[in-house]
Structure 1
Amino acid sequence: MKLVRYGPRGRERPGLIDGNGVLRDLSAHVADVDASALAPAKLRALRGLDPRTLPAVPGRPRLGVPVTGVGKIVAAGLNYRAHVAAGYPLPDEPILFLKAPSSLCGARDPVRLPPGATRADWEVELALVIGRRASRISPERALAHVAGYCIANDLSERAFQFERGPTWDKGKSCDTFCPLGPWLVTHDEIPDPQALDLKLTLDGKTMQAANTADMLFTCAELVACASRYMTLHVGDILLTGTPPGSGFLQSPPRFLRPGQTMQLAIAGLGEQRSQVRSFRP
């Protein structure tokens, strides 16, 4: 099942994408795609609906962030073997950091460079959306706590990240620096999250192409590790790291400029398309 939130920013409605790619309205069954909608019993009820009985939504409305009420975004750094092979030491356990929920935007919304940005960068990532409260769980139980999966772009302003203090948050949390979606694909449609091709192109040129099998720490291990240090609540998002090909590792380095277009794809999860624009107050 592919869950979406569609409509103008701040006035999104819940929906789903049926097997023919038609957007259907879900507002008669859930108020929004939030923690209550992601609970296991509610997801089972939604999967039992016949999409043909749901109203088709005309036109091509904006698709917003596919889940609302996100409490936190937990992200993993240096989690692909080929990325680490570029010269970083092999971590003993996942490198985790937080990204502000205010960085979220829809998968086709513009990405706006903050004032002073000179080294804005891209990172295609598999995102997990938590569906059950998780605290100190084992890797064997971890994926049972995942409601579904999305495409994420963990954008970074590298100058803010590396040159303005020891933490990464300043460069990771700018507004629009976490496009998510276009939809949330429920866990039953992704039997193995460690077997997904992912790709990012910039103005049509492939910059990143890999498979989630190359992760150092699996999705299950990441959820379990994060849950040892903080309770994961329903609706929280976990970003699983990016493969090689980010701009700051190019030779010479390449960074985002207004007018460029990023396209992201992960097998089974759809595609993103974001145009880079200048800051607008």
Structure 2
Amino acid sequence: MRKQLALAAAVLGAGAVLASPAQAQHRYAGPSVTGLTTMGDLVVFDAGNPRRTDRIGRISGLRGDRRVVGIDYRVQNRRLYAVGDRGGVYTLDNRARATKVSQLTVALNGRAFGVDFNPAANRLRVISDAGQNLRHNLDDPNGAPARGRTAVDGTLTNPPAPPATAGARATGVTGAGYTNNDLAASTATTLFDVDTSGDQLSVQSPANAGNLAPTGKLGVNAATGAGFDVYSRLRRGVAVSNTAYATLRTGGAYRFHIVDLLTGNAVQVGSFPSNRQVSDIAVQLAR
């Protein structure tokens, strides 16, 4: 049984193919991407041309929060959501106006955060560079945690390095993205994380346990604070491929990358304008 889980712009998901960076660049003209800048603006750009960003506006309407720490689209209603630094959860309209719709019941711990909706479980995942691993239920009357509540899941943990027999708390994990962003009962989903301390991509599985399994190195020396999201191409409403994108800070500036989910390798697509440094991304959902 399927777990119940718009802005202007480990197990791999069953039946879906992971697209390589080269394939993604060739096959897709580039999905539209919504970006959160370091100044608190929303911008939109084509995944093939991050240099050309269009400003939507400065995020306004936060209540009890000072800034937004992450954004993501929710498959269930196709709306763009934001999480504030004090745990407020908001929808954002096409003028970057925020409407508060929920509140995390656990305080955020860390300096940088990853935010992504689980399309199968209909829960909001929030992770941090301090190893925090939260799961929030916005409005689902069924399942756990209860509606409007936040569950504290297992601390993000890297596998043990011999001769150690126990894993170590993972720090620097700040990008999170689920695969297979559809509502089909035939597909599952897998959570991938970007770890800027180890400069690697990891599978978080089981996601609630916080166990990390590295899939490969990014190939770049990224500073803390990565933005990450997975775009799922659909056929008749079912995900048939997944392409991962990341904004990574290297050499003092954020740059946009395609990330190979099988190897972890990050291929730079381009850089952002100096006055529109994009620190987090939310790829607009396929139809």
What is the TM-score when the length of structure 1 is the normalising length?
Answer: 0.26
Relative CO higher for 1 or 2, CA cutoff 8 Å, sep ≥ 6? 1
What is the TM-score when the length of structure 2 is the normalising length?
Answer: 0.25
Q: Which has the larger radius of gyration?
A: 1
Greater helix fraction, Structure 1 or Structure 2: 1
